[in-house]
Every structure is written in structure tokens, then in C-alpha cells.
Amino acid sequence: MKAVIQAGGRGTRLSAVTKNLIPKPMVQIAGKPLLEWQVEEFRANGVRDIVIIVGYLGNVIKEYFRDGSHFDVRIRYIEELEDEPLGTAGALAYLPPLLGDGGSGEEEDFIFVYADAFFSVDFERMLAFHKEHRSMATLFVHPNSHPFDSDLVVLDGDGRVVRFDAKTNDRSSYDYENIVNAGVFLFHRNICDAVPEPRKLALEKDILQGLLDAGKNVYGYCSTEYVKDVGTPERLAAVACDIAAGIPQKRNLSRPQKAIFLDRDGTLNRYVGLLTKPEQMELEATVIEAVQAINSSEYLAICCTNQPVVARGLCTIEDVEAIHRRLQTLLGHGGAYLDDIIYCPHHPDKGYPGENPKYKIDCNCRKPKTGMIDEMAKKHYIDLQTSWMIGDTTRDIQTAVNAGMHSLLVKTGEAGNDGAYDAVPEQEAKTLLAAVREILQ
């Protein structure tokens, strides 16, 4: 399989670091250029045929990597004129001859990445998703800590891209899911047909939007793996710290993951009884700091919540998802994010006025049963024995016991006074932040 690295930009946001003497992809992180980290990651995934698109100060890149033989890869170059940059997609016009003739002996798909992304990704998993959906373009998408100033991707339930929500849009009147395009893609070679001749084009605005308009398959591959933009000095420093802690490699889905499962009502947000409207969503004190701490660790942050309000007919599935968009928006404004959210809409007891009989079932997902935990463990390759459940009820603690996880009772919300089960937590903490600190220490 081949990889293409878009390394032609100027990187003006990093000029304080590069001093305009080196191109952005050659900025040093933990002792070597960012671009070298990318090349090594491709080689670790078995990808040894790499094309680098160069432009501004491209000679620096070419002199460092040459033909790639010293890095045990093959490197070829597409060269843009420094005074005529082609944007993020214009150079795709030059790519077909470097991909081969597309015959039976040639790989139809290739990896495309921006050169300002530091990543550790199991591309075999992403490729399996890409092929399963027969996608023309698959975007690596994930939540990040600054969705308010990021271009968001709107997906349907199957992962198909519905539309793009540009960061320039006024989002003050609506909540949103924190799903961000990370700058890592899998493309079918036919995507190059959209660029018959070299001219300045933006990948998202001109190419991907064009595919959507034409009804082509464009999907978002949601993953918790490590992909971070290092386009500013602050983000560069943060990635360097993560490398020192080994977090990128630990987040790679070739390895089992650790997770902190978080109850919702009374743990993440203030307990108000049966919450049925987004405007009732108010975060508990210290939640922003607590979730930020998880985000900066090797653990995943996953919300796991019973929502019998659906079965009781108090609100719909769409209402619950609107509430969760509100939760993600509030966290995002504070610089925090959840890696995933899963909920159970069922309730086994019948006889409530206005109840929804479709959801009045004895399911396997309602806590303390472990259906939701098991689904997340399979989806994110989670080792439950090294993972935790934090909640404010004995139901949450019993869930941890049933799933073989560690447990921590937080003294907010119902503070363990629900009396539903006799389960005893391994630890207790007054706030979610204190709980997370106990785990991380």
C-alpha cells in the first residue's frame, strides 16, 4: 500500500519555531523531525512506498530523506512551485502515475495525510472499515479539545458523512457532536479523477464536498487512536509531552486499551431526577478538569448511562441524543471531550402512563448488566481488568463488579444512597476530579 504526505504548506502558525528556515513538517519533536515520525509510523504499518508533496522549502525535505533508503522505505516527490501553491488537493493531479496503472497487481487505495499531524494508528483496522463500506474517501474522525474552532463532520448512524460544519459557521444557536476531521484519510485511487489538472484546490471544500454532492461513498472512521495537530507552538509542546509519556503508542489499537467509564446523571452532570431536555443539562463542579485529566492520560473517557426516560415515554431517542450533543458542547467549550457515549433506553417494568412499549423490555444493556460495557470493550479493544467505572449509585458499582472492572463511588448526585445493590466500591471520592486523580495516581 502507498502513502501520500501533503507537506507543501508554509506553516505560518509555527513560524516562531521554524524561523522560516525549515518547512513546517521538519519541525523537531522529541529529537527528530515530525515528518520522520510519520515515515516511521508508515513503516511500522508495513507501508514502505511513500510520496511526499513538497513546496515551500521543499529542498530541505528532499535533502533529508532523499530516496528513503536510509529509512527502509521508498520515497518519491511531487514538487509544487513555491510561488504557486496548489492548496491541500491540487497536487492530486500529479499522483496517478505514481500510484501505478490500477491493474490487478496494483493497490486501489492509498493513505493520505497532512504533514502537521502526529499520529499512531493501526491502519489495518481503518482499511478494513474503508473496504467494508466500499468508500471512495474515508476520513479519520475523532473528538478533540477545541471543537468550537474546528471543522466538524456530521455522520449518520452508519458512519456515512452527511455534511461538513465549518468552523466559520455561527454555532451559538445549536449544539453539536464533537466529531473532527483529523487530517488522516484513506482514498480510492479514483479520487484523483476529481483533479484532472493541477490547480489550487482545498481537499474538504472542493474535493470531499464534491464527492458528497455527487452521491459518492464518503465515510468517517471514528477512532480513539492518537492523532494530534501540531500546527501551533502550544500543540507542538503538548505532543512532545505525550511522546515522553508513551501515550501515542498506548492509544494505538494494535494494543489493548484502558478506559474510565463514567455514569452521566449525578456524575458528569447535576442530578435533577429524570432529565428530559437539553436545557436541564448542567455540568457538575470539577467535571471539566476531571475529563481533561483523562484526555491527557492513556485512558479513554466513555460515558455509560441508563436512560429509561425513553421507555417511560418522557422523551424520544432523538431527545436523548440532543441532550448528549449539549453535553459534548459544554465539555468542548471547556477544552474536554468524551471518547464515546453509550446509553440504554430500556426499562423492564411496565405500567407507567404514556410508556413506550417498544422499549419496555428486559434487555442485556441496562446497568448493572454489562451489555453496554461489552459493546464498548469490543469497539475500542478495551481491557476491562485494567479499566474503571465511576458513578454515584450502587448500580454503577455493581456494574463494575459484573464486568470485572475496578470501581469508584463519587459523592455527588445520589452519592451511593440509592440502596439498589449491596456492592461496595473499591474507592470513594468527593468529586469527579478527585476520583480521576486517585485513578491516575
Q: Mind telling me the catalytic residues?
A: 263, 265
152 touches 168 (CB < 8 A): no
Q: How crowded is residue 408: how many other Cβ atoms within 10 Å of its Cβ?
A: 24
Closest C-alpha among 137, 238, 149, 133 to residue 184: 137
Distances, alpha carbon 217 to alpha carbons 2, 126, 179, in Å: 21, 15, 18
Residue 125, phi then psi, degrees to nearest 5: -65, -45
The whole-angstrom separation of Cα 339 and Cα 380 is: 10
228 touches 118 (CB < 8 A): yes
- Torsion (CA) 244, 247, 249, 253 in degrees, nearest 10: 180
β-strands 340-344, 161-165: how paired? unpaired
The whole-angstrom separation of Cα 206 and Cα 128 is: 26
Residue found under cell 494530534: 228
